[in-house]
Amino acid sequence: MTATEPWLPIFGYGGHIKATTQELIIARGSNTRRYPIQAVKHLLIVGGHTLHTSAVTNLLKAGAAITIFDIDGTPVGYLYPYGYRPDGAVRLSQERAGPHRFAQPLARAALQSRLLLIEELYTHTGHDIFYAGELDFLHQAREELSASVTMENLRRLSRLTADMYYEILSRALPPELGFRRRTSRPYLDPVNAMFSLGYAMLYGNCCVSVVGAHLDPDLGMLHEGAGSFIHDLIEPQKASMVDRTVIRFAREEIKSGDYECSEKRCYLGSDISARLAAALRDSIDQDRIDAQVRIVRDALLANAEFHVLYW
């Protein structure tokens, strides 16, 4: 087996990572994977694993970098070969890129993915979840995003349609859960808490790929500020990778004993959190995330076509 990308992520817990001069070996229980060591340019270790010094030594000798992340996907440290320099050309291209070229298709794909999910939900619920004119407005906004020439308008429409999307979702969920819209911390209802868990997992998976590709997580196109580039890339993925799973849990799985809400905060129980995290690990598609990061990288470095994978 060869690495599908120059960066190779190892997620979760319990892996044993070692290497010979010829191959990297990753064992977890009865499952063992082997990679030609020259094919691994950047090993990304997420969570808790046993890292043998043989892996460190042979990877560094082969010119590979190693980045360590905590379980949430936040980078905590690096190991570089002597004389190693990260690929500065990637970051420089990212700094110089015109944001509109990337922001427009990202914003449109985010809205399109949300439209697909709420239309799917409408079909399954059997009752109208739209107020008069809402669906027409969202379709019109999608066309306006395609024609928008200013970053200000792209960001305004992105925020507006995202807010509308969550309000529409709320009408398809049990009212006793108390979800009305997407809010910021502290979360006062279990649905917002479940969304938060899912988006944190998606953010972590995407951050791993972005760091592996030598892109800067903080140099966003559509979003601004810390982690803005990660938010750019996960926005079109939320509906299919996180929201569909959270909605299923909210409609079918969560019970009153699975969470505890007070005036200050809502806490998810350990059992529902574990079951939701397991379901999200299945729904978050790392291959698609890696492919999207590669598309961005190629567009920045080689002026290749940029398009968004979102469904």
List, as residue ranges, the binding site for Mn(2+).
Answer: 223, 235
**3-state SS record for the chain:** CCCCCCEEEECCEEEEEEECCCEEEEEECCEEEEEEHHHCCEEEEECEEEECHHHHHHHHHCCCEEEEECCCCCEEEEECCCCCCCCHHHHHHHHHCCHHHHHHHHHHHHHHHHHHHHHHHHHHHCCCCCCCCHHHHHHHHHHHHHHCCCHHHHHHHHHHHHHHHHHHHHCCCCHHHCCCCCCCCCCCCHHHHHHHHHHHHHHHHHHHHHHHCCCCCCCCCCCCCCCHHHHHHHHHHHHHHHHHHHHHHHHHHCCHHHEEECCCCEEECHHHHHHHHHHHHHHCCHHHHHHHHHHHHHHHHHCCCCCCCCC
Backbone φ, ψ for residue 280 (5° rounding): -70, -35
Cβ distance 79 to 66 under 8 Å? Answer: yes
Distant-in-sequence, close-in-space partners of 305: CB < 8 Å, separation ≥ 6: 299
Q: In degrees, to the nearest 5, what angle opens at C-alpha 309 toward C-alphas 169 and 96?
A: 110
Binding-site members are 223, 235
Which whole-number Å values give the CA distances from 32 to 28, 44, 82, in the listed order? 6, 17, 30
